[in-house]
Amino acid sequence: MNNIEEQRDQAKAELIKQQEAMVDIMDDIPKWAYCFVQIRDRSTGKLGPWTARPYQMKAMRSKSRKKVLRWGRRCGKTEAQIIEMLYWCAKIPGFRVVIVTPFESQIRLIYMRLFEIIEDSPLIKMTVKSKTKNPYILTFKNNAAILGFTAGTKSGQGAASIRGQKADLIYMDEADYLQDNEIEAIVAIALESPEIRITLTSTPTGKRAFFYRACNMPEMGYQHFYTPSTELPSWGPQMEGEFRAMFSEVGYQHEVMAEFGDEVTGVFNKNYIDRAIDIELYHYMDLSSQQTAYVKENKLKPKNIGIYGPDHPAPLALRTIGVDWDKFRDVST
């Protein structure tokens, strides 16, 4: 009798151990991926577990609901997001992912890779209910779904149509190529609930737009992850030479080093603009009572440089006046 009870206790302990291990796996995206996702080695054709690189692991394990990934070429930003989408859809019944890209070709490549991973991963494949490419919709037996959209037009009308979608995770790929009004219309989905997740990924274009602000302004609430292509395990002189030959110096800074640098189509050096914006606070005349109160309340220390005149000449400095041009030729303004 004691022997039977011991066997039962051992079986119970083993079951509890397995359950705890499964809970640990389901709470950790890289572990879940290693156990459930299979990928095919392109050189040998053999299947093996998907293994996160250190910087992918760091981003995946972040508890932040708003993330921005500024990663260089071939760092696997899109692949990491595909894995994360599959994880959330497997873990939470009815979970809904909305993918947004600037161009049709990008959403097509994402779904192609998504379908490849599912086809090579039997445990995930058996959970799929249906998949279509026109429109781009992947549904699971637990009612979770992944929907793909393109932002559409420069006017943001395509993004506005996405705004009515329900989402638990919004993923914007190549976000720096989206217009600000497009991103703002898409992000508006998240106003429905603070639980909605948003992830932006891109290599920089040099624009000082939404993606740039999300990377550089912590008050926007995005956790910033930066990885240049030089962090790739395969990085070396040969790969560096290939990239150097492929891109201009500005392109290399954007695509490989994932630095904002200058905008390829820009007129002004963005580093100079950044420095000008960053100039210390100053004033010419004495502050009014309202200005004094504002300065005191915000703990600011503006410098009084006085009024220029015969007794107070202007400091030697270059001055420029910038003007904008109206590409729509609206002469009424």
Query: Cα(256)–Cα(230) distance, rounded to whole angstroms?
Result: 7
What pLDDT does residue 198 have? Answer: 96
What pLDDT does residue 96 have? Answer: 96
Q: 48 forms bridges with which residues in the sheet?
A: 39
Query: What are the tens digits of pLDDT across the range 276-322?
Result: 665 567 777 788 888 888 888 878 888 777 666 666 666 666 666 66
Query: Cα(123)–Cα(91) distance, rounded to whole angstroms?
Result: 13
Query: What are the tens digits of pLDDT across the range 233-269?
Result: 999 999 999 999 999 888 999 999 999 986 655 555 6
One-letter amino acid at 148 equals G
Residue 183 C-beta-side C-alpha neighbours within 13 Å: 20
Assigned token pair, 282: 């100053």
What pLDDT does residue 157 have? Answer: 47
* Sheet strand arrangement including 66-71: 128-133, 136-140, 145-150, 96-101, 169-173, 197-202, 66-71, 223-227
DSSP character string of 239-279: HHHHHHHHS-HHHHHHHTS----S-TT-SS-HHHHHHHHTP
Low-confidence residues in the chain, pLDDT < 70? 1-2, 4-23, 152-161, 163, 262-280, 306-333
